[in-house]
Amino acid sequence: MSDLAPDLQELYTQVGIACEITQVLEVEAGNLALAYLTFFMKPGQDVTAVETDVFRAVIEDVNRKTLGAMFRHLRGIATIDATLLEIMDKALERRNYLTHHFFRTHNFAIQSIEGRAAMMKDLETVSADLKRGHQLLSAMTDSINQLAGHGKDLNATVEKFVRRGKRIDI
């Protein structure tokens, strides 16, 4: 049992959940880049050694890039509606705020019940903007996959990976 006040424990829990959303958002930006790349492949076609190398290079590049760099890259390869760009920019801003400034901004607020309540309210807004950004990127990825004809078995593939991810090999 934790010796933290329940509201402080909840604050830390919600920060952790928000941090997970930021990582999921980053992964989805990479998925979008890969979906764009696979858009030019026919469903069911064998992947050549050269294409494998290209995919590997893109994945390594995505893994090295910050979310801001990935967004700049996406802007460079696609024309994105201004309203959608605003959602992406807000998600990026919120991600950076949460990661680098959230606790510093609230400074001593964490020491009081009222301060923690204000932090939770701020965190709710941050989380909502992060979720909206993820939903947008996910919809863009799904749209590209559907247009390319790659979406037919996508849900089954995702479910297979989820089952495999839950398996514990000891």
Residues near 144 by Cβ (< 8 Å), separated by ≥ 6? Answer: 32, 35, 36, 39
Full domain range(s) for residue 83: 6-166
Band (pLDDT 50/70/90 cuts) for residue 60 is confident
Closest of 88, 87, 84 to residue 70, by C-alpha = 88
Tens digits of residue pLDDT in 103-124? 999 999 999 999 999 999 999 9
pLDDT of residue 110: 96
Domain assignment present for residue 1? The answer is: no
pLDDT of residue 68: 87
Claim: this prediction has a pTM higher than 0.85: no
Domain assignment present for residue 138? The answer is: yes
pLDDT of residue 144: 86
Domain assignment present for residue 145? The answer is: yes
Domain assignment present for residue 42? The answer is: yes
Number of domains in the chain: 1
Structural contact between residues 25 and 96, judged by C-beta atoms closer than 8 angstroms: no
